[in-house]
Amino acid sequence: MEQQSKTINLFIDYLFEDRQFAEKIIRRLSIFNKENVSIFNYEIISDGTDLTNGQIADRLYDFDIIICIVTPDYLASTKDIIEDTLNELADKNNKYIIPIIYTPTNWSSKKWIVGNRIFPKNDLSISELNDLELERTLNSIIETIESIILQNKYKTNQSNISIKDKQELIFISHSHDDSDFAELLKLKLEKANINCWIDSEKLKIGQEWRQEIDDGISRSKAVIVIMTPEARKSEYVTYEWAYAWGKNKKIFPIMLKQTTLHPRLESLQYLDFTNKASRPYSELILSLQKI
């Protein structure tokens, strides 16, 4: 059952000298104006007054998503009380911290950064990217935020039920590098009342991952395989779709990034998701509903 959506409060934090890049992010975030998302920065929360570090730390608890534009000066200016709050929020399941490394920065000792999804993903900073890489990174940031928004809007009542208690699931196989898209796909399908399972959200350290995967696929009525060059090289992805093939499960390959397919997958018709502007979600949903 679809739950009533809540307002998502998003805070973007940055130094004044990085304002131009922050405003670029804010302009991108404007696509969520109709999604019950409120965007804040320091000027808005301070309302023209100087806040103490304690007051800033207290306000951070009000936000669901916190974007931090990270530079050496930003880290140097972040007081202990604020850093302690960020560390605490980083451990909460319903809070999301998104560090964006703007210039080369030594952040490896910062728990609230290390424990979160960091952008860019290639160990570079924003300032070191070329135009194409920058555009891809900005798109990935927006997709991540969209995934969080959808997750809050369309959580299902079964979200915390064990895979062994679920039936008629769609199993989504993907490379770790494509986890952002996999989560977004899962949420779009669940919005259409199609229950999905992604191994990354269930498998914990110490569990027998292969047995869990086998159980998940065995209880699924179909498997979606997200294909990219990274997935093509992934032993986990290959194992998952090959096991599904052996179990006579319906397999739906999705071409997210152009790559060669395994000969067995070549025999199946894949859906072309390489063009972000015209991804055939409706066609995929219709095909899954027909199973």
Q: Choose among 175, 159, 285: nearest CA to 222.
A: 285
- Residue 199, pLDDT > 80, answer no
Q: Output the average pLDDT for the chain.
A: 85
215 burial type by CB count under 10 A (0-12 exposed, 13-18 middle, 19+ buried): middle
Q: Which residue in the block uniquely carries the two structure tokens 């067995």?
A: 264
pTM value is: 0.59
Site of tokens 């669901």 = 64
CB count, 10 Å around CB of 167? 9
Question: Does the pLDDT value for residue 209 go beyond 50?
Answer: yes
pLDDT score for 77:
95
Residue 43 contacts residue 71 (beta carbons within 8 Å): no
Reported as a single tens digit per residue, the pLDDT across 73-116 is 999 999 999 999 999 998 887 889 999 999 999 998 898 998 78
The per-residue pLDDT for 161 is: 44
Residue 153, pLDDT score: 62
Q: Are strands 37-40 and 65-70 parallel, antiparallel or unpaired?
A: unpaired
The more confidently predicted of residues 161 and 214 is: 214
Assign 200 a pLDDT band (cuts: 50, 70, 90): low
